A and B are shown apart, each in its own frame.
Chain A
Amino acid sequence: MAKINYNKEKTGRILGGSGPRDIQLRQRLLHQEVIKRDVEDTRPTMVIEDMPKMQKVDLSQYLPLKKVKQKIDEAVKFTVNKYEEILNDLKNQLKIKDSELDKVRSELLMKEELLKIKEDIYTNLQVKMDKIYNRISDGSIQSFVGKNRPELEDGIFIDPLEKSDNQSLDSHIDIREEKEASDRDMKGDLNKLRSLLKK
């Protein structure tokens, strides 16, 4: 904040107490006095009314301290017993469940063993079926069912052409030969084929 210079020369004259700060101070003091008077005015009204007198307690109607302690001990014991019973019940149930679980486990093991046996049987059967299939494919196994049963010979072909059908035709067809450009070695190929077919 800028400082305001007081340029007036000091004359040594004493101030008369009539400045604004003096007036302000006087007003504040006046106000404090008013407050003080108001507080004092309220003092006579702050009178404490008569308090009710304390009645004398009759202790004969209460149990003695020893008895109370005994009763508390009994209640604690009762509660402890009750919860111990519940805990025992739960332990028994847990034992039953454990034995049931053991039973299920042993059944599961038994079933796993059975499954393994079945898988072995299935694998053996698969191998046997493959062997039989291969033997059927190569003709070494043939069906014997109904071997001598009479069969209907329905594979009959009748030529739809008459013998004279060709006679009226005069062919002018001349087809030229084509030799393969790659010069394929048929004799070599035939030998390969014979060895592959074991002929």
Chain B
Amino acid sequence: MAPRIGVVVFPGTNCEYDVVQAMAAIGGHAELLWHGDSGLSGVDAVVLPGGFAHGDYLRPGALARFSSIMSAVSDFAAAGGPVVGICNGFQVLTEAGLLPGALQKNGRLRFLCQPTRVTVTSTASVLTSGADVGDELVIPINHFSGSYVCDDETLRQLNEGGRVVLRYVENPNGSVDDIAGICNEAGNVVGLMPHPERASSLLLGSDDGLVLLHSLLSAAMVAAAA
């Protein structure tokens, strides 16, 4: 049976169907989960997709963090379940305290929507396990608040722990240390600003995101078998 990927929909989320389609195309079974639900219906992995959860009011992710489903997501993450936050989902994960740091407005206040080159800098995560360190991928970004910031101590821990999973080749938004994606200590919670689901077919201009989605699918298979 195909592993089940739960894609969380908040009011204002708008990338959920892209993720569902991309996961289905590689043999996963993705289903939508409503933010007001209290459980995860037994899925094997969770994706918090891009968009504008709760209108991004106050700060991106600030209100989404209080949605009922987030306590289930926290419990699932604490138990080692694969959780990936893409773009707005990354912002939600930092606001929820599941990943350290914060996503601040882009340098020079530019909304960025463009293909971006990123390098895989760690494979010790559920999203990069199938890639090789040094792989260069072209994946689109689409955000206003994607400039990653954290204190020096956190940055040291991220670097020394191999927890920076993706770095920009040319830093587009002012992120500290060119950080495009990070993971938690165990590697089962990952947040990234680029959208791998939008780089899942050559028809979209790039299929470089597939290696990341395949990694997530493998992690979901392992979780399903456990």
Partners in one complex: no
Binding site for B on A (CB under 8 A): none
